[in-house]
């Protein structure tokens, strides 16, 4: 089978526009959280803060006239993809385009357009609804718009698996290359749910932190005082290529995707399975796929959402898979959601990019706000300060509502 390598990364996150800006912010332990500015939020909302993307002008990444066709999540995807293409120095000959595809995972799609059009419908009638409404709303138009822009005539999929969406997109994109069905895959995720419906909906589930007086201290995975996740937004795009193609063109290689695991809890629509049973299967499948022992993994970017139940169950699952290696703090685990918030459908791609950068640089981003560890969470979570460690292999976990789980293993490229 073909080996699959990452040759380009593009990130649009609450911590920065671009991969390097995001990366440096994470290593400094900076929080991207603050009061919501995208809509007028009242005290009726239990949560009034989020991790918003700042200083982002979509016209820098796509034609201004095209902006009327797309929702915010699509502009994020287009921006991240342009940055990824630039980073990879990727050019496709006409004959290559049939074997170049695009998988962009999206959890919820264009919520803000749905809200806007509902108001237009109620106040002005159906004749005033834009013909671009449906194409701007549906999740697969992130991959669709990217495919159109870059002439990618291979497979175009949108994985909509809640918070695992873009991890599934990356894993499945890698599989297409491994099986010889594609040579290049543009893979990632995008999300933009900081809207009245989005915040109200997650608040109604008691999923969001309510630390309105201290937004930057709100996302605190594994801390005893955690009370829910912080909603984020943004996009991550990775350029995946077959190793043979990447070598032919002399591409820079960040890392190799060596393992992919997926499972279902088959338990509950929002609660994780007891003792992390689904997460355990996902991690073990990824290790088996990569042909690695648990002790080979030097760093894990955990799902780590800062929810009371989720953090405990993931920690138990990691202990079950990694045993004494994790319990003795030889495995370093951190959650970049402590800084970026939860990017939902985009989280898996952004966090896989974090693993690739950790392998490239030897720097491990911290878990901030971890002041008083939960006694049921007993791992080394790289609290509050970045560290350095040479990595040969890293793992990234993404788990979502409906019990959907995805795990990726990234490895240092060796010829």
Work out the burial of residue 386: count CB atoms within 10 Å of its CB; fewer than 13 is exposed, 13-18 middle, 19 or more buried: middle
Alpha helix segments (H runs only) across 89-161: 111-124, 133-137, 141-150
Query: What is the predicted pLDDT for the residue at 321?
Result: 98
**Distance in angstroms (rounded) separating the CA atoms of residues 66 and 76:** 13
**Distance in angstroms (rounded) separating the CA atoms of residues 265 and 313:** 12
State the helix-helix crossing angle for 347-361 and 19-27, rounded to 10 degrees: 70
pLDDT in tens, 215-255: 999 999 999 999 999 999 999 999 999 999 999 999 999 99
> Is residue 254 within 8 Å of residue 339, measured between CB atoms?
no
Query: What is the predicted pLDDT for the residue at 415?
Result: 87
> Is residue 316 within 8 Å of residue 222, measured between CB atoms?
no
Query: What is the predicted pLDDT for the residue at 275?
Result: 82
> Is residue 72 within 8 Å of residue 140, measured between CB atoms?
no
State how far Cα 277 lies from the chain centre: 22
Tell me the catalytic residues: 163, 303, 342
Residues of the chain with pLDDT under 50: none
Give per-residue burial for 36-67: e unless 16+ CB within 10 Å, then b: bebeebeeebbbbbbbbbeebebeebbeeebb
Nearby residues of 387 by Cβ (< 8 Å), 6 or more positions away: 332, 363, 364, 366
**Distance in angstroms (rounded) separating the CA atoms of residues 12 and 337:** 14
Query: What is the predicted pLDDT for the residue at 274?
Result: 86
Degrees to nearest 5, angle at CA 165 with 175 and 385: 100
Instruction: Tell me the fold of 259-411.
Output: Peroxisomal Thiolase; Chain A, domain 1 (3.40.47)
Length of the chain: 415
> Is residue 22 within 8 Å of residue 55, measured between CB atoms?
no
Give the end-to-end CA distance of the chain in Å, rounded to a whole number: 15
> Is residue 78 within 8 Å of residue 64, measured between CB atoms?
no
Residue closest to 245 by CA, chosen among 4, 410, 1 = 4
* pTM, full prediction: 0.97
Tracing tokens 């991969």 back to the chain, one arrives at 19
State the helix-helix crossing angle for 308-327 and 277-290, rounded to 10 degrees: 40
Degrees to nearest 5, angle at CA 171 with 169 and 172: 65
CATH superfamily of 4-248: Thiolase/Chalcone synthase (3.40.47.10)
Residue closest to 80 by CA, chosen among 113, 102, 96, 107 = 102
Query: What is the predicted pLDDT for the residue at 82?
Result: 98
DSSP assignment, residue 338? H
In a 3-state reduction of DSSP, which class is residue 250?
coil
Query: What is the predicted pLDDT for the residue at 169?
Result: 99
The ranges of the chain annotated as CATH 3.40.47.10 are 4-248, 259-411
Q: Please give the radius of gyration of the chain, using alpha carbons only, rounded to the nearest integer.
A: 20
pLDDT in tens, 321-331: 999 999 999 99
């Amino acid at each position: 089978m073909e080996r699959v390598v990452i040759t380009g990364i593009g990130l649009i996150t609450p911590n920065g526009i671009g991969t390097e800006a995001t990366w440096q912010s994470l290593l400094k332990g900076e929080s991207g959280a603050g009061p919501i500015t995208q809509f007028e939020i009242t005290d009726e909302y239990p949560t009034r803060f989020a991790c918003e993307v700042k200083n982002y002008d979509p016209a820098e990444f796509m034609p201004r006239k095209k902006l009327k066709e797309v929702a915010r999540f699509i502009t994020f995807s287009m921006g991240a993809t342009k940055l990824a293409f630039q980073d990879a120095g990727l050019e496709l000959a006409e004959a290559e385009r049939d074997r170049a595809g695009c998988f962009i995972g999206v959890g919820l799609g264009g919520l803000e357009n749905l809200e806007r059009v509902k108001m237009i419908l109620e106040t002005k009638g159906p004749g005033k609804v834009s013909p671009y409404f449906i194409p701007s709303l549906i999740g697969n138009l992130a991959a669709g718009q990217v495919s159109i822009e870059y002439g990618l005539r291979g497979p175009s999929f949108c994985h909509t698996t809640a918070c695992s969406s873009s991890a599934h997109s990356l894993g499945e994109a890698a599989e297409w290359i491994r099986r010889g069905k594609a040579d290049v895959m543009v893979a990632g995720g995008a999300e933009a749910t900081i809207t009245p419906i989005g915040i109200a909906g997650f608040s109604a589930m008691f999923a969001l932190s309510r630390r309105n007086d201290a937004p930057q201290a709100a996302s605190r995975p594994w801390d005893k005082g955690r009370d829910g996740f912080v909603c984020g937004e943004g996009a991550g795009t990775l350029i995946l290529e077959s190793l043979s193609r990447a070598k032919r063109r002399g591409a820079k290689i960040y890392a190799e995707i060596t393992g992919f695991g997926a499972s279902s809890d088959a338990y509950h629509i929002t609660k994780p399975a007891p003792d992390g049973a689904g997460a355990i299967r996902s991690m073990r499948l990824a290790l088996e796929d990569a042909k690695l022992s648990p002790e080979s993994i030097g760093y894990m970017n955990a799902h780590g959402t800062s929810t009371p139940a989720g953090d405990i169950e993931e920690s138990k699952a990691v202990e079950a898979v990694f045993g004494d290696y994790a319990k003795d703090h030889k495995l370093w685990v951190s959650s970049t959601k402590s800084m970026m918030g939860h990017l939902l459908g985009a989280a898996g791609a952004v966090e896989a990019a974090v693993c690739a950068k950790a392998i490239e640089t030897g720097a491990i981003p911290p878990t901030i706000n971890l002041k008083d560890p939960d006694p049921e969470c007993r791992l080394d979570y790289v609290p509050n300060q970045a560290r350095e460690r040479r990595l040969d292999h890293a793992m990234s976990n993404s788990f979502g509502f409906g019990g959907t789980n995805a795990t990726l293993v990234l490895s240092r490229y060796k010829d």
